[in-house]
Structures are given as C-alpha cells and as structure tokens.
Chain A
Amino acid sequence: MSDLLQLIISGLMVGSIYGLIGIGFTTIYNVTGIVNFAQGDLAMIGAILAITFYGLSLPLALAILLSVICVGVLAAIIERLAIRPLGNSVMRGIIVTIGVGSILQGVAISGWGTQAYSLPAFTSGGPIPVLGATILPQTFWILGTTVVLMVGLYLFFTRSYLGKAFRACAINSFAAQIIGIRLNNIRVLGFVLSGFFGAIAGIIVAPIALTQFDSGVAIGIKGFVACIIGGFGNPIGAALGGLILGIIEALSSGYLSSGFKNAIAFVMLIGFLVWKPTGILGELEK
C-alpha cells in the first residue's frame, strides 16, 4: 500500500513536469500549427539561468522570476528571427525548431560546460512521511505550481480578452484577422507563453532532477507524448496526458521491469497515433 502511494507520488511529480512541457507545446501549436521541438531545451535554459542568477547571490524568488522572463523574451526572439520569416510553412517551421534546440544546447555547453548543476529546494526540510511513503517538500511545490498554472491558463483562455483573441486565432486565424486581431502579435504571445511554461517546468524540477546541457531532450520528448495522449493542442489534455504518462511510467518501473518504462511510453504514443490521433480530450474546441 505504502509502495503504491510512493509510486503514484513519484508518477504525479514526473507527470506534472511532462504536463507543463506539453502545455508549452500547445500554446505554439494552436496559433502556428508548429510542433516546437526546442520546448525541452527552453526548459533546460530556464533552469540553467535560474541557477546562474541564484549563483550571483540574487534571492531565489527573484532569480526564478528573472529567468522565466528571460526565457519568455528568448522565445519571442526565436519566433521573430527563426519562425516568422518562414511564413506559413509548418513543415519548415518544425524542422527549424529542431535546429533551434541544437543551438540552445550548444549555447549551454559553451556557456556552462557539460557538468550538471543543482538548484536548492524552494523550502528546506527533509522528506515528509505520509502513510508509509516519503514525500520531498519540493514535490508539493511541483504539484502546487502545476495546479495554479493550469487554473490560471484556463481562466486566461476563457475570461480574458487576450485569451479569447488567442483562441479565436487558434480556431480560425483568417476570420480572426478579418475582425482585426493582429495574428503576428498572437503568435508572439504563443511563443512567450510557451517560454514561460517551459522555463517554469525546468526550474521547479531542477532541485530534484539536476540540470545539464542535454536535460531538455528527454523531457521534451515525454512532453510531446503527453500532448499526443491528451489531445494535441488542448492544454488541459496535455496536462492530463502528462499525469497519465508519469503514473504509468512509475507503476511499470515499480511493478514490471524498469527497462519497460520508455517502451511503454512509446507504445502508448504509437497506439494513440494509430487508433485515436485526437487523443483523450481531442483538439481545442473548434
């Protein structure tokens, strides 16, 4: 029983990160149709910047805030310099994001080297025993941040003017332009949001998982799988897909063999692509 609880907690924690990365995918995909394969690398850059700012003896909260803003700006620059000149070519856009990912990794290697870095946990204190399982305080931060961001994003999309404009562009960009929404601005917004979510995902997991130049690759792929499971383009679906993937991974490495873990994730990816390409929740309401 306590083992099951421990595995589920482990799954929820890892799954939250996949979910946040997945949401980053959707905010770009919805307005451009592009799958941003540099998403994981944005998370890595976010974590490394936060660690660097903290190393310059800034308070932890300020270091995190500064890093999230920097990655948002970086994402906007990527849109302006690498994506917008391509026009509406989705395929070329996707390939460019793979290149952008490699560039970000290269920048990380030349600036920070190949060794791993760690960020201190947000609150001190040892593991907390709960019903025979042990939970790190950072796990609560990860789960809490994920819930707050999900609710915030939901309110933004449904209640705010900007959020509604964003959804309008996702549903029909041509009609949205006719009624006077500037598509280019919304595209930049999509990238900035994606940068925010990526950076936050990278930062909150950094105290547990450590960060080095190639940390983004694996979580980027898992975030992509989370999107496919939940329904590509649907932020709630991405979050749900992430949690499902995280829990299945944890349970399979706990009860089956850990060697199966990645295999199960990718079998799910193929299964969904073949039999239910719209995912569990389907695309964003269109």
Chain B
Amino acid sequence: MKPHTKLLAAVSAFGVGLALSSTVTQADIVIGGLLETSGPVASLGAPGLEGAKLAVKQVNEAGGIDGEQVRFININTESDNTASVSATRKLISQEKVVGIIGAMNSGSSYAIIDFVQRAGVPLISNGGSRGIALPAEEKPFIFVAPLTDLLVQSVILSDMKAKGITKIAVLNSDSGFGTSGEEQLEHHVADYGIEIVVQKTFGNSDTDMTPQLLDIRNSDAEAVVLWSTGPAQAIATRNFRQLDLDLPFYLSHAANDFNFIKLTEGAADGVLIPSSKLYVKEDLPASDPQKEAIETFATGYEAEYGQSPATFAGNGYDAAMLLMQAIDAADLTDPKLIRDAIETTQDHVGVTAVYTYSPEDHFGAQADSVVLLTVEDGKFVIKD
C-alpha cells in the first residue's frame, strides 16, 4: 500500500466513523443497562433484558419522550462484579447515559455503588437485596425496583397474624439470599406477636433436608417458613410433604417461578407464596389498579417473544419504565434532575408493584401490591 492510499484509507475510515457517530447522536436520550446474559444469574438477567427492551420499544412506538427516541444500550455484566464495574464505566464515560438499569445480581449492584454515586447518574437496580439502597440519604442516586425481603415478609407475617399463628419454624439455605432473609425475619417477627421457636439451616447444594425438617416436626411450631432458591427449595418442599407435616408452609418470592412448581412434582400444591400479580393476571378484578399495566406488558411480551413473561421480565420492564417516566417528568436530560424525578415518583403503576419513592424510601414498591398465592393442580392462584 502506497503512502497516499494509506492516507486515503485513514480519511475514509474517519469519514465512516463520523457518519456512524452522527447516526448515533440522532437518538438524543441514551439509557444504559447492566443486565447479565451469561454466568450463574443469566436465567434472571436474560428475561430482565427482554422486559427492559420491550419497555423501550413501547415508549418509542408511542412517539418517544417529548418527541425524542430512546436508545437503550445494555452491556452483559456476566453475573460478575468486576465486569459490572467496567461496564458501568463504559456506559457513563463513553456512552454518556443519563440513567442506568441495574443488574439482577445484588453483588453486581453493590460493586458499582461508589462509582455511580461519584458520577451522579441515577441507577435503578434489579437486585433483591435492600442493602443496595440503604441508607437512602447516603446513596441519593441508588434506587431498587423489585420486591424486597422486608416487603414480602410483612405480607407473610400479616397473614400469620390474621390466622392467629404465634410460633413458627424457619428453614433457610446457607446462601446469601437464605441467611439475609432469615436475619430480616428474626428482626420483625416480634412486631406481629410471633416467635421463632426453631430455626434450621441447610447447604444450598444439599440433596436431602429431612434431618432439618424432623426437628421442625418435633417442635411446637404452628407454621413453617422456607427461605431458599433453586433446586434446594424444591427438594425441601418435597421433603416437607414426604414427612407429612400438616402445617401452613410459607415460601419466599423466589418460589414464584414455574420451574419451581415443575421440579416439586405436585409437592408445591397448597404452599403459600408472596408474589406480584403477574402470574394471576386473569384472576384480578377489573378494579385492580395494576390490571391494565400487567395486561399491556404481558400482551406485548407474548407478541415479541412468543412466551409468557417471568417475574424477572417484569422487573426489567418496571425498571426501564420507571427511568423513562422520570426522564419525561424531568423534561431535561440532566442526570441529576432525572434522579430528583425518580425520588418524587408517586403511584407509578408497574407490573411488579405500584411505586412511590421518597427521600427516605428508595424501594418504592407498595405492600398492597403483593398478593399471597397458593398452588392448585400445578397452577398459581390467589389465596383468598
């Protein structure tokens, strides 16, 4: 290649680059995503990303925000903390996003808090851990959208109180989800006049929880709470039925999953699960404030991806919608003003919940959005 052809190539490459970047700047509102599509949390992140993309598509088809189209850039964070930090760096410094939809993995959200705070860009995390946004006054830019432990436990404990249950047994896995859920529960049972009479832990990869359940059977507990995820949760549910324990059996919102019902092979019938209303949308009365939002989401999702949406798809959709309605309310694409708009969100009707944020409450989801489900013949139904 002669020198001047080299120059020519360089110039045309520059020209192409310029052309590309100019098409990019045509979409004026850029939001970022950190949803993981590989690694251990991929089974949550992948539907979450589908939900978020659907939200952006629906907003753009309805004319965008103040006439401007929204561009959504997701970087796969691989269920990994280090990958999350570099993805966040890239979104903020290169892509100049005005807001970020966080990862499903709580650890990935914890890892980027300092960076996001310093950069002054609002983050709506999809992690289920409350600590991500606590204390709210020290983390003004961090918000959480999915249902949290505390919220769903308040629904469980209220139900127990209504039934006159005062003594309960708690069985949890030794994973982060299991132990933090158990600690949370221990802090709040007294508020409902309930006492934990026996607490048992099992390993997340254990294959038989009969020994732990035997101790529970021998106690005077009037109900059992199981806080776990994955196969262990299904195995414990099977063992519970196998030992013929005739007690109300409460599970965490992690059991709100069709695969869980399938894996228990019938043992899940009759369990009690706190949940969003997504899986029982047909049973909702017309007066329910969320009915319309859930149907818009579910119909759109089925048309786009050819299957019914999972909880996590709803989480991604909610996080994206919350961010975009805040951008709309802020009128300007200044991240700080968008942050203020998220914090003053009132009664935003989402798929997972109705959201009201405040300077003290960065979780938003309202307790009356959570319903108690049970399983009948392998299907979720509302417990009345």
Query: Is there an interface contact between B43 and A113, defined as CB atoms closer than 8 Å?
Result: yes
Docked Cα-Cα span, A6 to B208, in Å, equals: 12
Instruction: Tell me which of A136, A218, A253 has the highest count of chain B C-beta atoms within 10 A of its own C-beta.
Output: A253
Query: Is there an interface contact between B230 and A208, defined as CB atoms closer than 8 Å?
Result: no
Query: Is there an interface contact between A259 and B201, defined as CB atoms closer than 8 Å?
Result: yes
Using an 8 Å CB-CB cutoff, how does the interface string of B199-218 with A read, 1 for contact, 0 for none? 01111011110111011001
B137 within 8 A of A: no
What are the residues of chain B within 8 A of A118 when measuring CB–CB? 234, 262-263, 265
B259 within 8 A of A: yes
Query: Is there an interface contact between A250 and B205, defined as CB atoms closer than 8 Å?
Result: no
Query: Is there an interface contact between B211 and A254, defined as CB atoms closer than 8 Å?
Result: yes
A215 within 8 A of B: yes
Q: Which of A7-15, A66-74, A173-181, A189-197 contacts B (4 or more CB under 8 A)?
A: A7-15
A217 within 8 A of B: yes
Query: Is there an interface contact between A258 and B202, defined as CB atoms closer than 8 Å?
Result: yes
What are the residues of chain A within 8 A of B174 when measuring CB–CB? 259
Query: Is there an interface contact between A250 and B207, defined as CB atoms closer than 8 Å?
Result: no
Given A115-B259, A259-B174; A253-B234 close (CB under 8 Å): no
What are the residues of chain A within 8 A of B215 when measuring CB–CB? 254
What are the residues of chain B within 8 A of A134 when measuring CB–CB? 242-244
B217 to chain A, nearest CB (A): 8
Query: Is there an interface contact between B205 and A217, defined as CB atoms closer than 8 Å?
Result: yes
Query: Is there an interface contact between A115 and B208, defined as CB atoms closer than 8 Å?
Result: no
What are the residues of chain B within 8 A of A269 when measuring CB–CB? none
B42 within 8 A of A: yes
Contact with A14, one of B208, B231, B263 (Cβ below 8 angstroms) = B208
> How many residue pairs at the A-B interface have CB separations less than 8 Å?
87
What are the residues of chain B within 8 A of A113 when measuring CB–CB? 42-43
Contact with A208, one of B208, B218, B259 (Cβ below 8 angstroms) = B208
Query: Is there an interface contact between B203 and A262, defined as CB atoms closer than 8 Å?
Result: yes
Query: Is there an interface contact between A127 and B207, defined as CB atoms closer than 8 Å?
Result: no
Query: Is there an interface contact between A209 and B242, defined as CB atoms closer than 8 Å?
Result: no
A117 to chain B, nearest CB (A): 8
Which residue of B is nearest A110, CB measured?
B38
Query: Is there an interface contact between A210 and B205, defined as CB atoms closer than 8 Å?
Result: no
Scan residues 207-261 of chain B and give those whose CB is less than 8 A from a CB of chain A. 207-208, 210-212, 214-215, 218, 230-231, 234-235, 238, 242-244, 259
Docked Cα-Cα span, A103 to B148, in Å, equals: 35
Contact with B207, one of A136, A205, A259 (Cβ below 8 angstroms) = A205
B15 within 8 A of A: no
Scan residues 118-134 of chain A and give those whose CB is less than 8 A from a CB of chain B. 118, 120, 127, 134
Docked Cα-Cα span, A3 to B218, in Å, equals: 9
B40 within 8 A of A: yes
Given A114-B40, A116-B263; A7-B211 close (CB under 8 Å): yes
Given A114-B43, A209-B231, A258-B200; A214-B205 close (CB under 8 Å): yes
Which residue of A is nearest B217, CB measured?
A3
What are the residues of chain A within 8 A of B244 when measuring CB–CB? 127, 134
A212 within 8 A of B: yes
Which residue of B is nearest A218, CB measured?
B205
Given A134-B243, A212-B231; A6-B214 close (CB under 8 Å): yes
Instruction: Tell me which of A114, A136, A218 has the highest count of chain B C-beta atoms within 10 A of its own C-beta.
Output: A114
Can you list 29 A-B pairs, Cβ within 8 angstroms, ordered by A? A3-B218, A6-B210, A6-B214, A7-B214, A10-B208, A10-B210, A17-B207, A113-B42, A114-B40, A134-B242, A205-B207, A208-B235, A209-B231, A209-B235, A210-B231, A210-B234, A212-B231, A214-B205, A217-B205, A218-B203, A250-B210, A251-B211, A253-B202, A253-B211, A253-B212, A257-B201, A258-B202, A259-B174, A262-B203
Known: A113-B43, A258-B201, A259-B201. 18 other contacts (CB 8 A): A6-B243, A13-B208, A17-B207, A115-B259, A116-B234, A116-B259, A116-B263, A118-B262, A118-B263, A118-B265, A212-B231, A218-B203, A218-B205, A218-B206, A253-B202, A257-B201, A258-B211, A261-B203
In the A-B complex, the 4 residue pairs with the smallest Cβ-Cβ separation, listed nearest first, are: A209-B207, A218-B205, A254-B211, A210-B231
